[in-house]
Structure 1
Amino acid sequence: MLMLGRAQVREVLEDADEEVLRAVREAYLCHQQGLTAVPHSVFLRFPDDDRNRIIALPAYLGGEDPVAGVKWIASFPANIETDLPRANAVMILNSVRTGEPEALVEAATISARRTAASAALAAATLAAGTPDTGVTLFGCGVINGEVLRFLRTTLPGLTAVTVFDLDAGRARSFAEASAARYPTLTVEVAESAAAALRAHRLVSLATTAGTPHLDAAYCPPGTLVLHLSLRDLSPATVLASTNIVDDADHVCRASTSLHLAEQEVGHRDFVTASLGSLLSGAPYRRPDDGLTVFSPFGLGILDLAVARLVRRRAADQGVGTTLADF
């Protein structure tokens, strides 16, 4: 059993952004080809507590180097008020031959990077006729920090960033840190949600919202919304948009905005395509009018793809602790 902690996972993923993007892309293509098994996630909630949850995401990812396992991820939004991570996670990787556990890996880093890589891959795949040079990051936490990291790889022409958070201090700190980390980017803080949505035709939503709260009417025509937090947009906005998902069966549940839209109209005809189908087909150009929304539930196969990469790089670098008698 190989055991890797948070610092070790970050160490082996250093300078591996392009490899992470390739791993996520390959996972989507495997899913499109039917080479995966992705049971529905299991949500553990607590009595009299509608904010905190722990989610189990079991999955199997086939292909040339098949892998199976499960991610167990806790989301406690109030943690950020005491400088604790909102998300804490662990992954177990099992042998697909014997079922034996082969690796125990800290997975909050993996989860954040696979989410961000998915968003950045979607931004490149759902490109506009005029390349996006600016992005609005709505929610100034770990996820959007990673989104910016990966967007710089998939959108090399990116020059401007606008950030917004309900906590103005957090937004300012995020902007300062981003400007220091990426000196070639102009980073500004929006004074309101409306101003943030108007700023660019690429928007990444990574909030802790439990119910819809945004009016997408402020978005310019041709905007792509990376709807990572899944519950920000109203059903009316979803129904009026071009909707790209990772997997309709997964994203239309658990009171996501798409789930609410499905309940309202009684069907899923508003879902245009999956990202995997677009990756395996002809180049796609997003509409110049209206809104395009990418809503990824976050499939467990993406965690497996990045965890497999982590395990491989850790073995190559001699990183981690091996427990022989687990």
Structure 2
Amino acid sequence: MFSFDVVPGKVVKDILDSSVERIVDLVEDAYLRHDGGKTVNPDSYFLRFPAKPDARIIALPAAIELSEDHAVGIKWISSFPGNVAEGIPRASAALILNDYATGYPKALLEAANISAVRTAASAAVAARAFARHVTPDGRVSFIGAGVIARTILRYLVATDYPLHSVEIFDLHAESAQHLARFATEELGLTAKAVGSLAQALTAQTVITTTTAGTPYIGQLLRPGQVALNISLRDFQPTVILAAENYFDDVEHCMKANTSPHLAEQATGSRDFVSGTLADVLKGRTQPQGRRGLVFSPFGLGVLDLAVGQYVLTAARAQGLTVEIPNFFGETSRW
């Protein structure tokens, strides 16, 4: 009852790297459980800094009823874009898992990779679901070329999403070149960096993975064009209002001046909402493809918990956790 384990980042990464298909299944299952009322997913809480307006640390508390147990805990994830200039990742994270019976913390996991793969798996689940209704032509572009873009690309390959050609645009041209080289040399894809946003927007599937704080893309999507709006603040409200719009959770996405939130503010309504990813997965709604399609996932803490619980179970089974003796100072009331 009072054991407490730490799972280091390398252990987490090795387990995740060998479990891509399993992670996709876990994330899809978590979405369906969330839709079925088997989760508790409060609002995320943002810690911001007046002297560093682009930086933030976010708390995502959540709980999910899994098939074998409840996963309960909180992800604490920072986004400091200034890190990129120093050659270190923008995001870092920790995940605390609690025991459902007693509430005691039971494990601490390095969670930057957990956060990245749950985001990538979410994108892959959505892309696969929409492809059943809006046929992809294999032309995919990424706007933003960081860790999230790289991880999404791996997950799209793993789920057999058509990737005949990949074009990558980033304001930091060297990052685009790095991702194109990764796609070519590591994944065997036909990929190249492109020099303009306009070129990237010609692809049939457009994936935004930037750190943009305010929308800058005003070009409307074509019928049959799909945008995975992962970074949430790239598309101007006019683009959202002209498209079919699907969400991981509508209420969560209508916050923090995301592109859909700005569209809601501009119109005073949510008439532009077409449904959720779970609606599509369960066949309650079908994308039509007569307009562009936008998927906006705010990022649910329950996904981190589902993936984190899987990693903890695997790490314990392999004897790879670091147990902290006497972590709790008192284990009885008297």
Equivalent residues in 2 for 1:200-219, closer than 5 Å: 200-217=203-220, 219=221
- Normalising by structure 1, what TM-score? 0.95
Measured after TM superposition, the shift of residue 169 of structure 1 is 1.6
Contact (CA 8 Å) 1:225, 1:292: kept in 2 or not? yes
Equivalent residues in 2 for 1:95-114, closer than 5 Å: 95-114=99-118
Q: Deviations over 1:24-77 (max 9, x none)?
A: 011100000001101100000012321000000000001322110000000000
3-state SS of the aligned residue for 1:294?
A: strand
1:122 maps onto 2:126 in alignment: yes
Give, in whole Å, the separation in 1 of the partners of 2:210 and 2:282: 30
Q: 1:237 aligns with which of 236, 239, 251?
A: 239
Give, in whole Å, the separation in 1 of the partners of 2:101 and 2:112: 27
Measured after TM superposition, the shift of residue 177 of structure 1 is 2.1
Measured after TM superposition, the shift of residue 228 of structure 1 is 0.5
Give, in whole Å, the separation in 1 of the partners of 2:134 and 2:60: 36
1:25 maps onto 2:49 in alignment: no
Q: 2:150 aligns with which of 123, 142, 145?
A: 145
Equivalent residues in 2 for 1:44-83, closer than 5 Å: 44-64=47-67, 65-83=69-87
Give, in whole Å, the separation in 2 of the partners of 1:129 and 1:79: 38
Give, in whole Å, the separation in 1 of the partners of 2:206 and 2:217: 12
Give, in whole Å, the separation in 1 of the partners of 2:23 and 2:30: 11
- Normalising by structure 2, what TM-score? 0.93
Give, in whole Å, the separation in 1 of the partners of 2:290 and 2:158: 26
Give, in whole Å, the separation in 2 of the partners of 1:96 and 1:280: 29
Q: Percent of aligned positions with the same letter in both sequences?
A: 44
2:301 is matched with 300
1:175 is matched with 180
1:323 is matched with 324
1:93 maps onto 2:97 in alignment: yes
Evaluate the alpha carbon distance shift between residue 262 and residue 165 of structure 1 in structure 2; reply closer, same or farther with a 3 A threshold: same
Contact (CA 8 Å) 1:138, 1:203: kept in 2 or not? yes
Measured after TM superposition, the shift of residue 288 of structure 1 is 3.0
3-state SS of the aligned residue for 2:228?
A: strand
Contact (CA 8 Å) 2:247, 2:253: kept in 1 or not? yes
Measured after TM superposition, the shift of residue 248 of structure 1 is 1.0
Give, in whole Å, the separation in 2 of the partners of 1:201 and 1:287: 15
AA of the residue aligned to 2:112:
A
Give, in whole Å, the separation in 2 of the partners of 1:100 and 1:142: 33
1:311 is matched with 312
Q: Name stretches of at least 5 consecutive residues in structure 1 with no aligned partner.
A: none
AA of the residue aligned to 2:292:
L
Q: 2:224 aligns with which of 218, 222, 225?
A: 222
Measured after TM superposition, the shift of residue 283 of structure 1 is 8.1
1:273 is matched with 275
Q: Deviations over 1:253-289 (max 9, x none)?
A: 01111111111111212111011222222684x3333
Q: 1:253 aligns with which of 252, 255, 259?
A: 255
Measured after TM superposition, the shift of residue 324 of structure 1 is 3.1
RMSD, aligned CA: 1.4
Measured after TM superposition, the shift of residue 85 of structure 1 is 1.1
1:158 is matched with 163
AA of the residue aligned to 2:165:
A
Comparing 134-143 and 151-160, the one that deviates more: 151-160
3-state SS of the aligned residue for 1:22?
A: helix
Measured after TM superposition, the shift of residue 97 of structure 1 is 0.6
Q: 1:14 aligns with which of 17, 21, 45?
A: 17
Q: Name stretches of at least 5 consecutive residues in structure 2 with no aligned partner.
A: 328-334
Give, in whole Å, the separation in 2 of the partners of 1:141 and 1:16: 21
Give, in whole Å, the separation in 2 of the partners of 1:211 and 1:204: 17
Measured after TM superposition, the shift of residue 143 of structure 1 is 0.3
Measured after TM superposition, the shift of residue 15 of structure 1 is 1.9
3-state SS of the aligned residue for 1:216?
A: coil
Give, in whole Å, the separation in 1 of the partners of 2:281 and 2:107: 30
Contact (CA 8 Å) 1:37, 1:59: kept in 2 or not? yes
3-state SS of the aligned residue for 2:201?
A: helix
AA of the residue aligned to 1:147:
I
Contact (CA 8 Å) 1:132, 1:155: kept in 2 or not? no
Q: 1:193 aligns with which of 191, 197, 215?
A: 197
Give, in whole Å, the separation in 1 of the partners of 2:137 and 2:159: 11
Contact (CA 8 Å) 1:125, 1:283: kept in 2 or not? no
AA of the residue aligned to 1:66:
H
Give, in whole Å, the separation in 2 of the partners of 1:115 and 1:251: 15
Give, in whole Å, the separation in 2 of the partners of 1:99 and 1:189: 48
